[in-house]
Structure 1
């Protein structure tokens, strides 16, 4: 049995897709505000869960207390946007690590959990350094600092952390993602500015969810600690947008490269480059390459 906390979001929808396609397991999936209509033929049971509401955490914990089969948990819920975390730090903390702690305490003792975190905990890749999981963290903004606290709590409970790079892919939830915005902008013939000198180990939603699920299935009881989830080849957002254009046979002429130092996209500070060493991931799963798929 699976519990996906935050299943109604972009990445959560891909976890649902891959669990349903590759297993016969039942899924308890949580949403924050509006319940999705699809229950995948009865295999998905939707539950409301706002991590800022303790009564909902308590109710979910009471329901799961009676589960006798192995419970595998994926936690995705968080306030992700760095600028929103900066504007409402205390409100974000209620979800990003205070509510997370309450959730961890409410789960059955035998539950095995993976927390999906972010590469932003590392900070800046100075001189194109590829971060290993053992490197010290040094986030440059409030969102990154909250993710560090959340990771430490998860690890203290004996669970595992997946540090994902920049995630992208077509939306499966009816709300356009950055991927869809790029495609629709180019399809209209409009111009879109894209950062050309900020690099991340970008990976698509589908593959990231597949890799984490494979780790969970291959190592159901192991304490692996932190595992970087990213592709081999760093990409700028400009290069990502070019790949999306080519995948949909759209003109690349609408993409305008912008330098990181000249951009006005962000309110809070961002690291320019965050590059991930994914050798631990490849060793654990016996992979030769991990390439972002479009």
Structure 2
């Protein structure tokens, strides 16, 4: 039976993931200045698997879960997100659009895992939907500012990446059901080996011949971005994320990602000089309210039950 409440250490871990993934979009933008989207994907997961794949034993579960997760989370989620950021998407707006994974995760959890969302989550989803609508207004009204740096294709690709993130969350839950107790770190390290060859193949197929072997000429900033994406955002953050999903379920953990846009927009504004419009500030307020609703909504009842049990 899964725990329904998070410990203080788990809450700190969730907040750390929010900060890492929020600034993750800055690293993506920096990396895409030096690499094509497919090259960046290959480099990210090559560093994510090395050198740990030689030090960490393979997880004790069927290979199909490694393959499915690597394809969904690696090639699917980040392949589409990297393309989106390259074709036409700001780091700030991408950090928001990816949070639609919450809706996809809740939907897939209901149909695939029969996990029913509670009232706090439903209320949080409603607030988050309003927040995402506010952010979408920047795309629907280019004169507002933010949408001028985006394209319709970039917008669609980013939403596709969000759906693949949700699919990877479900794969983790199904893998946990099939092989309870597998180690998240070994799972992430060995899954990171899956996207490397597909990304290399995509680069050979679609990248311009003159850009295929530019790895050796990339500046140090590009490799620092790759290291951050591979070691910090992938291995460190995703291993913590996977562990939290194992213990508490996808519907319970996925709402934490609502804090990522707050960090993403702030870092995009401070580091990349991206502007924040009135619509975006409204969206930030609604998403923070949604996060508070989900995280704090069940506490009064939990306290009441605890008091009744101790009586």
- Which has the higher relative contact order, 1 or 2, with Cα contacts under 8 A spaced 6 or more apart? 2
Whose helix proportion is higher, 1 or 2? 2
User: What TM-score, normalized to structure 2?
Assistant: 0.29
TM-score where L is the length of structure 1? 0.30
